[in-house]
């Protein structure tokens, strides 16, 4: 039974946490123990809200009291909003209660900064330690690291959480100084770097022949971060370069992009009528291309074209700028080459390679290989035959792919029109582009 006072706090602190997008609960493989809960696939699944955000975790702030004044944040010190704070035990009780009733698969815990970064981090650690050691909770925990907290505390937090994240929020030092002047780039990147180094070190130890039989748990699902999109003037190219650098140098598992939602009046903030959701979507598509398709930021954008096309996805745009690389013959192309074909995703490319081991591919095989022919038709041949409904001419293909259909209001809206082409939507969610 949850106490009424805790429920009141929950209303405030769940509402306050909703602007953090970095809550996907995948990738953890916590060893099974005698405790309660599991991160294994039987217990964990993803749910997505209409705006694309993950909703399978109890996602709360420990408190929305904050000594900082980040301009874009509803919880900033200057705002007159209802405030609340959970005790560590209240969070444990809520988590266990919801978990045992199957409402949630885990906990996403963040907090405003109270007193100091160290004090806040200590309270967060106290909560997750209690959850693991006293309540024997073995489910998924995503814990926010507090910028500026002592590195020892950061590493302690990593022992209890499946995933940790420290939000960069703004994609450049100048923007951070303008909109979140109390946060320093170093206070975000140093802990991120230190966690990344430890994760890498652990990986190397695990590969050694004389590796220890057991290793202490250390954030098995890695670390992530979030960038706010559209609150500051950085281009998509700058954002993609930053993401590339974070994946490479900080060994981040995920960078999340969160379209800026205006919640405060402040002359330093842009006036937006709607959050830039299409831009957020393009960045996610491009992020997928960086992580799984072998693209670099510079291939997708350049100084002359620093922003993604609103009408076409980044992979098609790249293909249209590089017509000399197409058409690709599906019966002989390497896996890496297949991945570059619009409409062929990781799953399709693997299926093509597997099928080629037993037979030559025929055109009739393509649908069962989950190739999205609407996009792919212009970029391949099968047994030497081209199947596009227009010649391989970038302007003509662009025209075909952006042509209005009856009832369409704007070319941007079709991205979210689930009824028109569900294969597009499922491929966008699964990252098959």
List residues near ligand SF4 by CB under 6 A. 66, 68, 70, 73, 75-76, 112-113, 180
Instruction: Compute the radius of gyration of the chain from its Cα atoms.
Output: 23
73 or 320: CB nearest ligand SF4: 73
Distance CA 432, CA 425 (A): 10
CB of 186 to ligand SF4, least distance (A): 16
Q: Which is nearer to ligand SF4, 176 or 237 (CB)?
A: 176
Q: Which is nearer to ligand SF4, 111 or 223 (CB)?
A: 111
For residue 299, the minimal CB distance to ligand SF4 (Å) is: 33
Cβ neighbours around 211 below 10 Å, total: 12
Q: Would residue 407 be called left, alpha or beta, if left means φ above 0 and alpha means ψ between -120 and 50 degrees? A: left
Reference 97, options 139, 66, 69; nearest CA is 139
CB-wise, 111 or 348, nearer to ligand SF4? 111
How far is Cα 343 from Cα 395, in angstroms, rounded to an integer?
18
Residue 93 and residue 410: Cα distance in Å, rounded?
A: 48
Length of the chain: 433
Phi, psi of 329 (to 5 degrees): -80, 115
Return the number of the residue (192 or 319) whose C-beta is nearest ligand SF4.
Answer: 192
Cβ nearer to ligand SF4, comparing 180 with 376? 180
Distance of alpha carbon 246 from alpha carbon 189, whole angstroms? 10
Query: Which stretch of DSSP H or E encloses residue 132?
Result: helix 117-133
Q: Which is nearer to ligand SF4, 228 or 366 (CB)?
A: 228
Name the phi and psi angles at 328, rounded to 5.
Answer: -100, 130
Determine the Cα–Cα distance for residues 122 and 117; give it in Å rounded to an integer. 9
């Amino acid at each position: 039974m949850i106490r009424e006072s805790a429920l009141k706090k929950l209303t405030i602190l769940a509402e306050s946490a909703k602007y953090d997008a970095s809550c996907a609960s995948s990738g953890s493989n916590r060893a099974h123990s005698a405790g309660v809960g599991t991160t294994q696939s039987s217990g964990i699944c993803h749910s997505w809200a209409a705006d694309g955000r993950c909703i399978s975790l109890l996602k709360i702030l420990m408190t929305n009291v904050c000594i900082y004044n980040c301009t874009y944040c509803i919880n900033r010190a200057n705002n007159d909003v209802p405030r609340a704070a959970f005790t560590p035990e209240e969070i444990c009780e809520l988590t266990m209660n919801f978990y045992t009733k199957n409402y949630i698969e885990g906990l996403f815990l963040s907090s405003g900064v109270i007193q100091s970064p160290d004090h806040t981090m200590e309270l967060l650690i106290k909560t997750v330690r209690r959850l693991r050691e006293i309540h024997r909770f073995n489910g998924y925990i995503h814990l926010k690291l507090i910028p500026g907290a002592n590195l020892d505390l950061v590493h302690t937090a990593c022992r209890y959480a499946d995933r940790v994240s420290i939000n960069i929020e703004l994609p450049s030092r100048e923007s951070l100084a303008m909109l979140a002047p109390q946060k320093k780039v170093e206070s975000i990147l140093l802990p991120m770097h230190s966690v990344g180094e430890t994760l890498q070190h652990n990986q190397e130890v695990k590969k050694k022949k004389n590796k220890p039989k057991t290793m202490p748990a250390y954030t098995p699902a890695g670390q992530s971060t979030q960038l706010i999109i559209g609150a500051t003037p950085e281009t998509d190219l700058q954002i993609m370069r930053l993401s590339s650098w974070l994946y490479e140098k900080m060994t981040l598992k995920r960078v999340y992009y969160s379209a800026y939602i205006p919640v405060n009046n402040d002359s330093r903030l842009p006036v937006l009528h709607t959050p830039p959701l299409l831009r957020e979507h393009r960045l996610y598509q491009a992020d997928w291309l960086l992580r799984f398709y072998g693209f670099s930021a510079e291939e997708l954008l350049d100084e002359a074209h620093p922003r993604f096309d609103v009408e076409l996805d980044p992979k098609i745009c790249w293909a249209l700028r590089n017509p000399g690389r197409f058409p690709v013959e599906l019966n002989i192309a390497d896996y890496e080459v297949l991945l570059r074909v619009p409409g062929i995703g990781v799953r399709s490319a693997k299926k093509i390679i597997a099928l080629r081991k037993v037979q030559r591919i025929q055109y009739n095989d393509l649908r069962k290989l989950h190739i999205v022919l609407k996009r792919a038709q212009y970029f391949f041949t099968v047994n030497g035959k081209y199947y596009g409904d227009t010649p391989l001419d970038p302007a003509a293909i662009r025209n075909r792919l952006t042509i209005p259909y009856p009832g369409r209001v704007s070319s941007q809206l079709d991205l979210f029109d689930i009824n028109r082409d569900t294969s597009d939507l499922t491929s966008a969610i699964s990252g098959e582009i």
